[in-house]
Amino acid sequence: MTGPRRAPHERGAPMSERFAEPWRAALARLDDADAEGAVEAGAWALVLHAFDALEARPEVERARMREALAGALAEVEEPLATELGRAALAALNGDAPTHWPAELMRPSPRRLLKLLRGELDGFAAARVAGWLAAHPDERATLEALLEAGASARSEPLPVAAASSVRMRDPEEGQLLGALDALGLEAVLFREPAPRRLALYAAEPTAVRLEAEGVTTEEIAPGYWLGRLAPHLRGALAVKVRVGEREAAWSLRVGPREKR
């Protein structure tokens, strides 16, 4: 006699089956989604691709997602969404994505668990899956999390040695973009007021940001946090520095100003 069938999210189910439900939910969202919503849904193709599960989905599903993505990419403007959408479309076409914007830092156990449970949106899930695809040895960590019954409760992020700075959890904010050349991510925190901007570097080195209307509040190796003046809206031109390298960057910190 066989036992009860395990749901995809339960311990013991093959890893490739754990994302069947988020994939079906993404397909269901396509009918009412705008361009960015369709790309967010399509980003789940990258998650399945990372776990060698995409080709197992029925061709009718993959064809529907391909068609929706191709149309949405002609309209979406946000750079990160565009890059993830193009990578997902490549995977759906049976090609290896040439540029997959993955997370720069090792995802926390809580974030990995959220991926397994399908609790991340498509963009976040695809970026975590991209990191795992680049670090295949870490995939064993996912099963270890389930075996240990890891908790999804929030835990403080580690702080740098000899530093009293407590990093803001990037999951609590809005990812504004990644600057691959410097190994840097920017996250906007709208609450509690006033708004704050944080930079997270892939390496534990000095990070700085200079911009009009931005006041530095916290600095630690690989981390910078600053307060935004209330009048800042739309695109914010900043100069960032990581170690000895620097670059100009444009970040959208609020809605476009009404004309």
Is there a domain that residue 74 lies in? Answer: yes
Measured CA to CA, the distance from residue 247 to residue 179 in angstroms comes to 9
pTM: 0.61
The band of 29, judged by pLDDT with boundaries at 50, 70 and 90, is: very high
Residues 221 and 189 in one domain: yes
Residues 23 and 87 in one domain: yes
Residues 126 and 232 in one domain: no
Q: What confidence score (pLDDT) does residue 181 get?
A: 87
Residues 130 and 48 in one domain: yes
Is there a domain that residue 174 lies in? Answer: yes
Residues 32 and 132 in one domain: yes
Q: Average pLDDT, whole number, for the chain?
A: 82
What is the number of structural domains in the chain? 2
Supply angle C-alpha 46, 41, 44, rounded to 5.
Answer: 20
Domain hosting residue 55, numbered range: 15-148
Is there a domain that residue 207 lies in? Answer: yes
Residues 59 and 122 in one domain: yes
207 - beta bridge partners? 242
Q: What is the pLDDT of residues 198-225, one digit of tens each?
A: 998 877 788 999 999 999 999 888 889 9
Residues 69 and 142 in one domain: yes
Of 45 and 223, the structure prediction assigns the larger pLDDT to: 45
Is there a domain that residue 114 lies in? Answer: yes
Q: What is the mean pLDDT of residues 60-71?
A: 96
Of 86 and 5, the structure prediction assigns the larger pLDDT to: 86
DSSP type of residue 43: T
Is there a domain that residue 44 lies in? Answer: yes
**Structural domain ending residue among the three candidates 148, 183, 200:** 148
Is there a domain that residue 118 lies in? Answer: yes
Q: Residue 174 sits in a domain of what CATH number? A: 2.60.40
Residues 113 and 76 in one domain: yes
Highest mean pLDDT among 10-14, 15-19, 50-54, 203-207: 50-54
Q: What is the mean pLDDT of residues 185-205?
A: 89
Rounding to the nearest 10 degrees, give the CA dihedral for residues 129, 141, 19, 56: 80
Is there a domain that residue 190 lies in? Answer: yes
Residues 64 and 138 in one domain: yes
Residues 94 and 204 in one domain: no
Q: What is the mean pLDDT of residues 157-180?
A: 69
Surface-to-core class of residue 64, CB atoms within 10 Å of its CB (0-12 exposed, 13-18 middle, 19+ buried): middle
Of 259 and 208, the structure prediction assigns the larger pLDDT to: 208
The band of 78, judged by pLDDT with boundaries at 50, 70 and 90, is: confident
Q: What confidence score (pLDDT) does residue 192 get?
A: 87
Residues 34 and 110 in one domain: yes
Measured CA to CA, the distance from residue 190 to residue 172 in angstroms comes to 9
Of 77 and 225, the structure prediction assigns the larger pLDDT to: 225
Q: Which of 51-60, 86-95, 109-118, 187-196 has the lowest mean pLDDT?
A: 109-118
Strand 214-220 relative to strand 223-228, pairing: antiparallel
Q: What confidence score (pLDDT) does residue 141 get?
A: 63
Is there a domain that residue 186 lies in? Answer: yes
**Structural domain ending residue among the three candidates 113, 148, 183:** 148
Residues 33 and 106 in one domain: yes
